[in-house]
Amino acid sequence: MTKVLFATSNPHKLKEANDVGKGFGIEFEQLKVPYPELRDEDVGKVAEDGAKHVYSIVKKPLVVDDTGLYIDALNGFPGPYSAYVFKKIGCPGIIRLMNCIADRGAVFVSAVGYCDGKELKVFRGECKGTIIEEMRGPQVFGYDPIFLPDGEKKTFAEDDIIKDRVSHRRKSFEAFCRWYLTKNPGK
Amino acid sequence: MTKVLFATSNPHKLKEANDVGKGFGIEFEQLKVPYPELRDEDVGKVAEDGAKHVYSIVKKPLVVDDTGLYIDALNGFPGPYSAYVFKKIGCPGIIRLMNCIADRGAVFVSAVGYCDGKELKVFRGECKGTIIEEMRGPQVFGYDPIFLPDGEKKTFAEDDIIKDRVSHRRKSFEAFCRWYLTKNPGK
């Protein structure tokens, strides 16, 4: 297994990254280095800046992930502040905000930032879906109980296997792993 | 009049600062230098970091202001992200979030950060009040139409004079002006 450092404090993100990585022979190793997050509406820029910052501390190649839930009817809220907003108002708050709103469209965006001191790259993944009117499935990780991916009948919280197959993070980490193996064919 | 630079893009903040400053013989001059804002739950830290950052660019003494509306029942949301949240969901979003919530308490906090290369200081001002159930007064500046300061019958949007007298920004800028004049008695 090729090992790649992943700067995150979030065990759910680490597990999801490794679920993807194992198909590529890549193991993501957790690196607990907190870093200041840029205020920008684009999670790609936040991830890029984060990767650069953590690299400047550890001087080893690494990835970070920044993820946002962008709700159409709320002008993209909570976007890059999804984690903060979740901590404060949770899924019930989003449900109240979406009360009586017909347009339920939303997109989850994950951006993996990679930095090795020479290369600084961002890999994005998206998953479109709808915000449902009540929570379905256990409250384990973020907005999963209220996000129904397009074409599916179960929320991310109700079905891990669906999430693993279609999620934004699946796509961003796949894009990273594919690129990384091309760049390091001997490893 | 003593002149002090105020790094802000917000004309309302500039006017409010000058309404305070004139009582002290201080005129705040607008400086349009955008700066990255720290992600921190304390607007005081955001203001301190901002003042330091802008000073590093302009090399002149200056102030910045960071303000947050902290709503008790929402665990302090939207706090330091008040401007972002306002842009996305506005007063109507906060009203929906507070639907059927009995505890309406909230506090506006303004923090003025000052930096002159030697001194780095923060001056805070608070104004307690309640979030009302519908907007009252014109939508001119932020959450003013839904914030009723304690002991008053009109929202900040309905009555400029009340706002000028009791607001968080009145208090933070008064604290700054008092300190600044003590430090620069000859000016």
- Whether residues B89 and A74 touch (CB distance < 8 A) is answered with yes
User: What gap in Å lies between CA A110 and CA A120, rounded to an integer?
Assistant: 16
User: What gap in Å lies between CA A112 and CA A52, rounded to an integer?
Assistant: 12
Contact between residue A142 and residue A121 where contact means Cβ atoms under 8 Å apart: no
**ipTM, 2 decimals?**
0.85
- Best B35, B39, B70 member to test A by mutation, with max A CBs in 10 Å, is B39
pLDDT digits (tens, 9 = 90+) for A21-67: 999 999 999 999 999 899 999 999 999 999 999 999 999 999 999 99
- Is the sign of the CA dihedral A109, A83, A105, A74 positive or negative? negative
Contact between residue B121 and residue B128 where contact means Cβ atoms under 8 Å apart: no
For the annotated catalytic residues of B, the residue numbers are: 66
- Whether residues B88 and A97 touch (CB distance < 8 A) is answered with no
Cβ of residue B92 closer than 8 Å to a chain A Cβ: no
Number of residues written out for chain B: 187
Residue in A79, A81, A97 closest to B97 by CB: A97
User: How many beta-carbon pairs below 8 A join chains A and B?
Assistant: 51
pTM of the model: 0.90
Helix, strand or coil for residue A34?
A: coil
CA distances from A119 to A48, A157, A167, A168, B75 (A): 11, 35, 26, 23, 40
Is A66 catalytic? The answer is yes
pLDDT digits (tens, 9 = 90+) for B118-153: 999 999 999 999 999 999 999 999 999 999 999 999
Q: Which band of pLDDT confidence, cut at 50, 70 and 90, is reported for residue B99?
A: very high
- Give the end-to-end CA distance of chain A in Å, rounded to a whole number: 8
Cβ of residue A34 closer than 8 Å to a chain B Cβ: no
Cβ of residue A38 closer than 8 Å to a chain B Cβ: yes
Q: Which band of pLDDT confidence, cut at 50, 70 and 90, is reported for residue A187?
A: low
The total number of structural domains in chain B stands at: 1
Nearest Cα neighbor of A69 from A123, A33, A106, A105 is A106
User: What gap in Å lies between CA A80 and CA A39, rounded to an integer?
Assistant: 8
Annotated active-site residue in A66, A150, A159, A164: A66
Cβ of residue A162 closer than 8 Å to a chain B Cβ: no
Residue in A38, A39, A89 closest to B97 by CB: A89
Work out the average pLDDT over B89-102. 96
User: What gap in Å lies between CA A107 and CA A72, rounded to an integer?
Assistant: 8
Q: Which two tokens stand for residue A139?
A: 């409250």
User: What gap in Å lies between CA B59 and CA A30, rounded to an integer?
Assistant: 40
Q: Which residues on chain B are in Cβ contact (under 8 Å) with A93?
A: 74, 77, 97
Average pLDDT of chain A, as a whole number: 96
Closest chain A CA to residue B100: A96
Q: Which band of pLDDT confidence, cut at 50, 70 and 90, is reported for residue A184?
A: confident
User: What gap in Å lies between CA B136 and CA B125, rounded to an integer?
Assistant: 24
Task: Give the CATH number for residue B51.
Answer: 3.90.950.10
User: Quick one: pLDDT at residue B184?
Assistant: 85
Give A159→chain B minimum CA distance, Å. 28
- Whether residues B88 and A96 touch (CB distance < 8 A) is answered with no
User: What gap in Å lies between CA A116 and CA A59, rounded to an integer?
Assistant: 7
Contact between residue A117 and residue A59 where contact means Cβ atoms under 8 Å apart: yes
DSSP codes of every residue in chain B: -EEEEEE-S-HHHHHHHHHHHGGGTEEEEEE----PPP--S-HHHHHHHHHHHHHHHH-S-EEEEEEEEEEGGGTTTEETTHHHHHHHHHHHHHHHHTTT-S--EEEEEEEEEEE-SS-EEEEEEEEEEEE-SS--S---STTGGGEEETT-SS-TTT-HHHHHHH-HHHHHHHHHHHHHHHH-TT-
Supply the Cα-derived Rg of chain A in whole angstroms.
16
Q: Which residues on chain A are in Cβ contact (under 8 Å) with B37?
A: 39
Closest chain B CA to residue A40: B36
Q: Could you list the residue range(s) of the whole structural domain that residue A13 is in?
A: 2-183
User: Quick one: pLDDT at residue A152?
Assistant: 97
User: Quick one: pLDDT at residue B187?
Assistant: 58
Give B39→chain A minimum CA distance, Å. 7
